[in-house]
Every structure is written in structure tokens, then in C-alpha cells.
């Protein structure tokens, strides 16, 4: 396969791919339990939400936007019906 990729003896491409294959092997055999963040990310996000000074403003803006879209739908529907 390396001969076909390199279009020649394949030795140059094999040396170029060796570090990549090494790294892939280490990543594939790594212990995934060291990357277990279950629960921690939810807790961090909850802390962020609780301490976000713009949270009330953002929620009010979203609610207002939703209500205005609903009002536009009702007004637009009445206009079309007339």
C-alpha cells in the first residue's frame, strides 16, 4: 500500500507516516477513563448559568422575540383573511 501511495519505493512515505502511525497507536490504546468528565461539565455549566449577569436579559429577550413572532403570525393571518 505504501508503495502505491508513494508511487515509488515507498521508503520515504513510510518514514513520513511512521510518527503519525505511532501517535494513532498511542491514542487508540489510551485509557479513556482519564477523560471521564460525566457530571462535571453539567455542574460547571450550571454554575455559569447561576452566575451569568445577563441571564435574565437573555431570557426576556428570547421570550419577547417569541411573543412578537406569534403576534406577527396572528396579525398576518388576520390580514390575509380580510
pLDDT digits (tens, 9 = 90+) for 15-41: 777 888 888 888 777 777 766 777 788
In the 8-state DSSP scheme, what is residue 34? G
Sequence-separated (6 or more) residues with CB below 8 Å from residue 14: 2, 6
Q: How far is CA 63 from the centre of its chain?
A: 25
CA distance 73 to 81: 12
Supply the pLDDT for residue 22. Answer: 83
Report the chain's mean pLDDT, rounded to a whole number. 76
Supply the pLDDT for residue 7. Answer: 54
Q: Is the pLDDT of residue 2 over 70?
A: no
pLDDT digits (tens, 9 = 90+) for 37-60: 777 888 888 888 888 888 889 899
Residue closest to 5 by CA, chosen among 61, 74, 14: 14
Amino acid at each position: 500500500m505504501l508503495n502505491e501511495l508513494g508511487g515509488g519505493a515507498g521508503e520515504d512515505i513510510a518514514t513520513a507516516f511512521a510518527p503519525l502511525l505511532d501517535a494513532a497507536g498511542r491514542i487508540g490504546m489510551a485509557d479513556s477513563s482519564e477523560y471521564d468528565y460525566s457530571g462535571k461539565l453539567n455542574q460547571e455549566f450550571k454554575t455559569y448559568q447561576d452566575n451569568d449577569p445577563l441571564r435574565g436579559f437573555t431570557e426576556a429577550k428570547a421570550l419577547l422575540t417569541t411573543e412578537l413572532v406569534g403576534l406577527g403570525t396572528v396579525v398576518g393571518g388576520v390580514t390575509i383573511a380580510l
